[in-house]
Amino acid sequence: MSNIGFVGLGIMGGPMCRNLLKAGHRLVVYDIVPELVERVVAGGASAAASASAAAAVSDIVITMLPDGPEVETAVLGPGGVLEGARPGCTVIDMSSISPLVARKVGAACEARGVNFLDAPVSGGEPKAVDGTLAIMVGGSEEVFQKMQPVLASMGSSVTLVGAVGAGNVTKLANQIIVACNIAAMGEALVLATRAGLDPNAVFNAIKGGLAGSTVLNAKAPMVIGRNFKPGFRIRLHQKDLRNALLAAESLKVGLPLTSSVQQMLMALMNEGKGDLDHSAIVTFIEGMAGIEVRPPDA
């Protein structure tokens, strides 16, 4: 069993900590929000006064933070993980951030003799609670093999995809597919509704064919039922597509679909919809048509 420091105890970090405790690891936790620390401490963890204090008593430090700037602050900043981490320990950043930032943080860790993996996740809160996240990992084979059992206490699929940064490139690929799928579903359901069809009938007719997908099955019922309670927030998906576009620019590739959907997400945030589920991308297309996707009798 390992001594693990955990920084970032939000929607994802909280349940991930519970699964690490369940697997028998000793946890020392930190978040800038004291109530979140208290909740995890009530489940059996100890509290640290800072990220560096958590790192000082740990062999492994996991971070689960909103985006790259928070990861840079919590790992590289004053009172951050690297101030406390001993040479030979391992930092695993499980946040979804720019691969460029992952590489920068990884290089800073390496310069201090600290191992680093970027290991973002897919699956959302339900899979964080069940311990069945899909975890995509960037780093060296040797460090990955050592950390595999710890990662397996939070996920059912743990895959090494390449060097540091590759985990986040893979996560961005995942986020592009999900966002463009939701937008395409929105256009399809708006068209069908305007044509006078019941969107439930259209969904049932196409879900078993080539257009069927996990995204369609999860999100079409939410849209038709007008339930936009998050799941995964518009503002986080906007951040992921922004990171995808920054990576694309540095690699000199065009991502026209990603760019369009990112603009839709930004417009929705300006309408005050940043905390709705990302299925609400559909409302942007509804706005252009002046209708809502609903069954005819609803």
171 has catalytic annotation: yes
Q: Which helix (H) or strand (E) holds 136?
A: strand 133-138
**Among candidate residues 74, 144, 152, the one with its CA nearest the CA of residue 115:** 144
Q: Which residue is nearest to ligand NAD (CB)?
A: 10
**Applying CB under 6 A, which of residues 40, 48, 64, 151 lies at the interface with ligand NAD?**
64
Of the candidate spans 3-11, 145-153, 196-204, 243-251, the one that interacts with ligand NAD by CB under 6 A turns out to be 3-11
Of the candidate spans 1-9, 108-116, 189-197, 275-283, the one that interacts with ligand NAD by CB under 6 A turns out to be 1-9
Q: What angle do CA 206, 188, 246 make, to 5 degrees?
A: 115
Decide if residue 95 touches ligand NAD (CB under 6 A): yes
The token duo for 285 is: 């297309």
**Interface with ligand NAD in residues 107-166 (CB under 6 A):** 121-122, 124-125
DSSP annotation of 277 reads B
Q: What are phi and psi of 105, to 5 degrees?
A: -65, -40
User: Out of 104, 127, 171, 219, which one is annotated catalytic?
Assistant: 171
The rounded distance, in Å, linking the Cα atoms of 190 and 282 is: 8
Closest distance to ligand NAD from the beta carbon of 291 (Å): 29
Q: 76 or 197: whose CB is closer to ligand NAD?
A: 76
**Among candidate residues 282, 247, 287, 246, the one with its CA nearest the CA of residue 261:** 282
**Interface with ligand NAD in residues 184-243 (CB under 6 A):** 232, 236
State whether residue 159 is helix, strand or coil: strand
Q: 11 or 47: whose CB is closer to ligand NAD?
A: 11
Decide if residue 92 touches ligand NAD (CB under 6 A): no
**Applying CB under 6 A, which of residues 3, 11, 47, 245 lies at the interface with ligand NAD?**
11
Amino acid at 32: I
Q: What angle do CA 292, 294, 297 make, to 5 degrees?
A: 130
**Applying CB under 6 A, which of residues 10, 43, 221, 287 lies at the interface with ligand NAD?**
10
Cβ burial, residue 78 (10 Å; 0-12/13-18/19+): exposed
The token duo for 127 is: 């899979």
Decide if residue 57 touches ligand NAD (CB under 6 A): no
Residues catalogued as catalytic: 171
Instruction: Using CB under 6 A, list all residues that contact ligand NAD.
Output: 7-13, 30-33, 36, 51, 64-67, 70, 73-74, 95-96, 121-122, 124-125, 232, 236
